[in-house]
Protein backbone atom coordinates (compact mmCIF):
# COMPACT_ATOMS: atom_id res chain seq x y z
CA UNK A 1 0.00 0.00 0.00
CA UNK A 2 1.38 3.39 -0.97
CA UNK A 3 1.42 6.07 1.70
CA UNK A 4 -0.40 9.20 0.62
CA UNK A 5 0.15 12.50 2.41
CA UNK A 6 -3.07 14.45 3.03
CA UNK A 7 -2.71 18.19 3.50
CA UNK A 8 -5.06 20.00 5.86
CA UNK A 9 -6.01 20.08 9.48
CA UNK A 10 -8.70 18.54 11.60
CA UNK A 11 -9.36 16.96 14.94
CA UNK A 12 -11.65 14.09 15.93
CA UNK A 13 -12.64 13.60 19.55
CA UNK A 14 -14.80 10.57 20.44
CA UNK A 15 -16.27 10.39 23.93
CA UNK A 16 -17.65 7.01 25.07
CA UNK A 17 -18.92 6.25 21.53
CA UNK A 18 -21.80 8.62 22.24
CA UNK A 19 -20.41 12.03 21.33
CA UNK A 20 -18.18 12.93 18.39
CA UNK A 21 -16.58 16.37 18.05
CA UNK A 22 -14.85 17.41 14.83
CA UNK A 23 -12.90 20.39 13.54
CA UNK A 24 -11.93 21.13 9.95
CA UNK A 25 -15.50 20.63 8.67
CA UNK A 26 -16.26 22.37 5.37
CA UNK A 27 -19.78 21.14 4.54
CA UNK A 28 -22.38 18.52 5.46
CA UNK A 29 -23.49 16.58 2.36
CA UNK A 30 -26.23 14.51 4.02
CA UNK A 31 -27.36 13.19 7.36
CA UNK A 32 -29.95 10.94 8.95
CA UNK A 33 -30.15 8.84 12.11
CA UNK A 34 -27.77 6.20 10.68
CA UNK A 35 -25.14 8.21 8.78
CA UNK A 36 -23.60 11.67 8.47
CA UNK A 37 -21.58 12.40 5.33
CA UNK A 38 -19.45 15.51 5.43
CA UNK A 39 -16.58 17.21 3.70
CA UNK A 40 -13.56 18.05 5.83
CA UNK A 41 -10.13 19.55 5.25
CA UNK A 42 -8.82 15.97 5.17
CA UNK A 43 -11.39 14.52 2.76
CA UNK A 44 -14.89 13.09 2.73
CA UNK A 45 -15.85 11.59 6.10
CA UNK A 46 -18.72 9.16 6.71
CA UNK A 47 -19.93 8.70 10.28
CA UNK A 48 -22.05 5.61 10.89
CA UNK A 49 -24.16 4.80 13.89
CA UNK A 50 -27.60 4.70 15.46
CA UNK A 51 -29.87 7.53 16.58
CA UNK A 52 -27.37 10.14 15.30
CA UNK A 53 -28.17 13.82 15.79
CA UNK A 54 -26.17 16.90 14.85
CA UNK A 55 -26.22 19.03 17.99
CA UNK A 56 -23.72 21.67 16.85
CA UNK A 57 -22.73 22.86 13.40
CA UNK A 58 -20.60 25.94 12.80
CA UNK A 59 -19.17 25.97 9.28
CA UNK A 60 -17.49 29.35 9.82
CA UNK A 61 -15.38 27.78 12.58
CA UNK A 62 -15.37 24.34 10.93
CA UNK A 63 -16.91 22.63 13.97
CA UNK A 64 -19.42 19.80 14.21
CA UNK A 65 -20.77 17.79 17.14
CA UNK A 66 -22.76 14.58 16.68
CA UNK A 67 -24.49 12.61 19.44
CA UNK A 68 -25.84 9.07 19.30
CA UNK A 69 -24.24 5.62 19.19
CA UNK A 70 -21.14 6.00 16.99
CA UNK A 71 -20.26 2.74 15.21
CA UNK A 72 -17.73 4.00 12.67
CA UNK A 73 -16.10 6.95 10.98
CA UNK A 74 -14.29 6.47 7.69
CA UNK A 75 -12.45 8.82 5.37
CA UNK A 76 -13.09 8.20 1.67
CA UNK A 77 -11.13 9.19 -1.42
CA UNK A 78 -13.29 11.98 -2.88
CA UNK A 79 -11.97 11.53 -6.41
CA UNK A 80 -13.27 7.94 -6.48
CA UNK A 81 -16.64 8.89 -5.00
CA UNK A 82 -17.37 11.62 -7.53
CA UNK A 83 -16.43 9.91 -10.78
CA UNK A 84 -18.16 10.77 -14.06
CA UNK A 85 -21.88 10.19 -14.16
CA UNK A 86 -22.16 8.70 -10.69
CA UNK A 87 -23.40 10.27 -7.49
CA UNK A 88 -22.05 9.74 -4.03
CA UNK A 89 -24.82 7.36 -2.99
CA UNK A 90 -24.37 5.03 -5.96
CA UNK A 91 -20.73 4.60 -4.92
CA UNK A 92 -21.43 4.19 -1.21
CA UNK A 93 -24.21 1.65 -1.57
CA UNK A 94 -22.85 -0.64 -4.31
pLDDT at position 9, please? 81
Nearest to 49, CA basis, from 20, 71, 73, 16: 71
Domains, the chain, ranges and CATH? Answer: 11-79 (2.60.40.2000)
Mean per-residue pLDDT pooled into runs of 10, the chain (94 residues): 68 95 96 96 94 97 97 78 52 54
Decide if 9 contacts 25 (C-beta within 8 A). no
pLDDT at position 48, please? 97
Report the predicted TM-score, pTM, of the whole model to 2 decimal places: 0.76
pLDDT at position 19, please? 97
CA distance 88 to 70: 21
pLDDT at position 58, please? 97
Q: State whether residue 20 is helix, strand or coil.
A: strand
pLDDT at position 93, please? 57
Whole-number Cα distances in Å, 54 to 26, 44, 90: 15, 17, 24
Amino acid sequence: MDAKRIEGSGKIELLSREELRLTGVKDVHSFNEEAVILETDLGLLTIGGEDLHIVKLNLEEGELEVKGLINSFVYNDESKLFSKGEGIFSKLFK
